[in-house]
Amino acid sequence: MNKFIVAVLTQYFKEMKAVKNYENLENVRNIINNEIKESQCINMYINDSSTADSFYGMIVFPKLALNTEKELYIESYAIEIQKQLLDILEPDELVAMLIHDISHNVLTNTVLERLKAAIYKSAKMSNMKIAEIVYNIDNRIRNLAILDIANRTYKEKIIPGLDMYEPDRIIADLDIWESFNSSIEKIRREIDIEDISNPDQQDISDVYIGTKVIKMIREKAKGIVKTYTEVYNYIITRYDTKIFNIYPNIEVSEDEEKFGEKVSEIETLKPYELQFLRENVYFHISNKKSYATTLLENVFALKRPNISEMQKELVIISFKIESMESNYARLAILDRIYDNIFVIEKYLEDNPTDETVISYLKKFNDMTIILKDTKVAKKQYSILSISNPVGYEG
């Protein structure tokens, strides 16, 4: 792709905006397919849904598949542009954003890396285990997760001269980074972006998707349809995307052979790892808020931490300390204590005289000392104290 191609694309969008005629989208798609021959764009369209306008406004969805060597490749992709985006951006800004998202999701593998990062954030596994999961999971589950991430392609201003992602370097080399930056400014100023599209909330969405992927793998054929449907409904409700019309096979059916044998080893995760995975999922999809969600919201909004919630946390942590049976559990509890300390310190930066919150900061700091000094409880092996491993009850 070169500056001449950028100029032609800009002219097509200029004509499109002037006469409100979307036939030029086919010309745009043909130019892109002539430039990127390795993977073809099978559809490009305008989505006039008001729900879809509630986030950044452009999706470049790469449909992934495995080749005969079991390597992931982009089988094809589709481009969806929300009408509101077409209305508020200038032609050069639309082209810059389009090339940006193609660069991230088709020309490079950042969307796949974000899927790996989502799984890491939700389960803290090794990089090798995460790669194994991503390459072994069923194509439909992988593509559903990728669709959510493609909806939320991270968009932040590009500053040439600094260390950049490869796709951002493409924008800089084409000298259209100023158009991209101005489009971001307009979007943030003129579109009422939901929390799910706010860069500060990207991690919450990633942890949700990563956790659901893990849950589907662990459930295998048993409860997979229910979990898959939750993710499907989450995406279609949040984004009202038309991608499912183009790729109707992003569905799931019960199949006992859905996952490779190696991936099944995920079920051997330590009990405390699974426990804290469940406790720390940022679940704000159906207006239910976990304590982790409240903590995160307080950081971003700089709200006063809820005193009763902090007191409850202290009690819960005390019980966990008393019953911990391994140093792994000790580290997990320490993470939870420092989550609370982090939120309190963020609040106190702007409210340094709040004595009640200061007193709780001291209590949580004292907890770290108590945790350090508490010995792991010795295991007893009487008949009454024996418990079955997870999955072997009864």
pLDDT, tens digit, 9 for 90 and up, residues 111-169? 888 888 888 877 767 777 788 788 877 778 888 899 988 877 667 788 887 766 777 88
Residues 356 and 304 in one domain: yes
Residue 277 lies in a domain: no
Q: Assess whether pLDDT exceeds 50 at residue 277.
A: no
CA-nearest of 124, 322, 389, 120 to 330 is 322
CA-nearest of 285, 269, 287 to 277 is 269
pLDDT in tens, 229-258: 888 888 887 788 889 888 887 765 555 454
Reported confidence tier of residue 381, pLDDT bands at 50, 70, 90: very low
Task: Assess contact for 53 and 192: CB atoms under 8 A.
Answer: no
Residue 280 lies in a domain: no
Provide the CA 162 distance to its chain's centre, in angstroms.
25
Residues 103 and 161 in one domain: yes
Q: Which domain holds residue 335?
A: 285-373
Residues 249 and 294 in one domain: no
Residue 381 lies in a domain: no
Tokens 């924008």 correspond to 171
Mean pLDDT of 288-314: 67
Residues 300 and 354 in one domain: yes
Q: What backbone torsions phi and psi does residue 47 show, to the nearest 5 degrees?
A: -105, 115
Residues 246 and 317 in one domain: no
CA-nearest of 53, 57, 111 to 80 is 57
Residues 11 and 107 in one domain: yes
Residue 380 lies in a domain: no
Residues 238 and 368 in one domain: no
Region of 338 (left: φ > 0; alpha: ψ -120 to 50; beta: rest) is alpha
Q: Could you tell me how many residues make up the chain?
A: 394
Residue 312 lies in a domain: yes
Q: Assess whether pLDDT exceeds 60 at residue 270.
A: no
Determine which of 66-75, 93-102, 247-256, 374-383 has the lowest per-residue pLDDT on average.
Answer: 374-383
Number of separate domains in the chain: 2
Residues 263 and 290 in one domain: no
Provide the CA 224 distance to its chain's centre, in angstroms.
20
Does an H or E element contain 63, and which?
strand 58-66
Reported confidence tier of residue 42, pLDDT bands at 50, 70, 90: very high
Mean pLDDT of 176-190: 86
Residues 354 and 249 in one domain: no
Residues 93 and 231 in one domain: yes
Query: Which of 269, 301, 330 is the endpoint of a domain?
Result: 269
CA distances from residue 311 to 96, 117, 316, 359, 374 in whole angstroms, order as listed: 50, 33, 9, 11, 21
Residue 251 lies in a domain: yes
Residue 275 lies in a domain: no
β-pair partners for 164: none
Residue 257: both structure tokens together? 């052979």
